Structure 1
Amino acid sequence: MNRDLPQRPEPLPAPTTDAHTHLLSTQEFSGLPVAELIERAAEVGVHRLVEVGCDLPSSRGAIEIAQNHPAVVACVAIHPNDAARAGDRLPAELDALEALVADEHVRGIGETGLDYYRTRDDEGKRLQKHSFAAHLAWAREHDLAVVVHDRDAHADILDVLDAEGVPDRFMMHCFSGDADFARQCLDRGAWLSFPGTVTFKPNHALREAFDLTPDDRLLVETDAPYLTPVPLRGRPNASYLMPWTVRFLAERRGADLAGFCRLLDDNATALFGGWGDDG
């Protein structure tokens, strides 16, 4: 059943990329087929999407979507909370995930990282760090981008990155830190990806982090079906709603909207490589 997704916004004046979305979850929530969700995004100028896995089924699903839709590339991972819940099963799950990494449609490893909001026990944190390190190793071996999930774990994220070796290309998905943490990530070469939460009125610190992010390290994402931007906050999200966030940020930066769209598109290419429909 369609759960009343919002109407389409005004199309963007130039094509751009949703740097992090979950089409499978959006499909499950909305009842709309993946193909229609991709088409809706393209109709408003979001012509490319990064479909991100969080466990074995969704990682396999991300690859299948990318195989069938050239506008999509895949990322594969075991989400940190899933790593913590796996317990003794984690080594086997990591082995199974590693078998997916070499697929040609996989352009990133993630979302991986640390989440101390839902996982607070020491053993769960240990498993998350072990999983994060394994994902970082695969990214180095296969020259892939890393999509980092960080929730309430800023210091430990940096500690693991420094200990394991900072990846050549990595993005801080759904960036949630302040300006000081943004500088620490940028100093390590990160791309910072901003979701709809940057439009929420109380999030002044997040907007300050955006303000200091260089143009060539900036991405925008939906994390759909979550984190719907103002003025649709509280309703289900989808990639075709990303123009609300893009317009908000372009206006804040005083940037030409078409040029800002192309900038985000170029940055996604720099991080993930080309898409099947490029050119």
Structure 2
Amino acid sequence: MDTEKTHIVPAQVKPTRLQDYGVGIFDSTYTKSALKKAIKKGLIKVNGERASTATMISGGEKITLQGTESNQAHKSFIYRLKVLFEDEYLAVVHKPAGILVNGNTFKTIANALPSNIKPSPLKDACRPQPVHRLDYATTGVLMVGKTSSSIRTLNRLFEQKSIRKEYFAVTIGQMREMSGEISSMINDKPALSEYKVLKTVTSERFEQLNLVTLNPKTGRRHQLRKHLNELGHPILGDRDYYLEGLLLKGKGMYLHAARLEFIHPFTGKSLIIEDDLPKKFKNIFP
């Protein structure tokens, strides 16, 4: 059925472009890319006029979103998630392997959040939404916004690299350098990752396996996976970026988002949220 959703802009300290303000004000515009798509399609109006990404928001405006809503649009996917941290503004959950964070399918982390996350008591509470991505096969910490303002703010913090992310991976082959940087162009944009080898074990099939910690300094799609493959030491179990004859089948990918470190944008507290290594990592590196 056709729907129209409305958002009344509260008083603003200073004017903001719609492409920045509008992230998270509607369930279907919880990322900047989703918002831009809705604006491009002409689905968003400000005070009755078709909006652009450059439309300025200063307070008091009526923003509407036109769309078609399916009968299942707001049904929750009943799927138990481990909640690592939660307050009235945001939450951090463990994302298992083998499930999408969001997308055009019902079985996603986004659709499982309402049955796992407590509703926020704040005035701008909304349906909880992930504010960054993890690949289908990747496990680990995933941050969620619970209010319109927190979704916008957290998106901005990730864009500004104000949230430090740390990953663990198992890589293939004998790595010559125990630590270093990997720099290259990904999708015509500069990408930089730091790595450090923590442990190694010999392997009959792969010569050597390495437990590596990774810190992405930029946020390109598949950055860590591409960078390690470019280095000649792809992630064990990666089905997209691998060396011929060295693809591990049936065990999943050994990439884990282990830690988020940031200053809480609303309470000012310094937070470190960690997620233990999966059992399959510990089986290789006891």
Question: What TM-score comes out, normalization by structure 2 length?
Answer: 0.24
Question: What TM-score comes out, normalization by structure 1 length?
Answer: 0.25
Instruction: Work out which structure has the larger RCO, using CA pairs closer than 8 Å and 6 or more positions apart in sequence.
Output: 1
Normalized per residue, which structure has more helix?
1
Give the greater-gyration-radius structure (CA).
2
Normalized per residue, which structure has more strand?
2
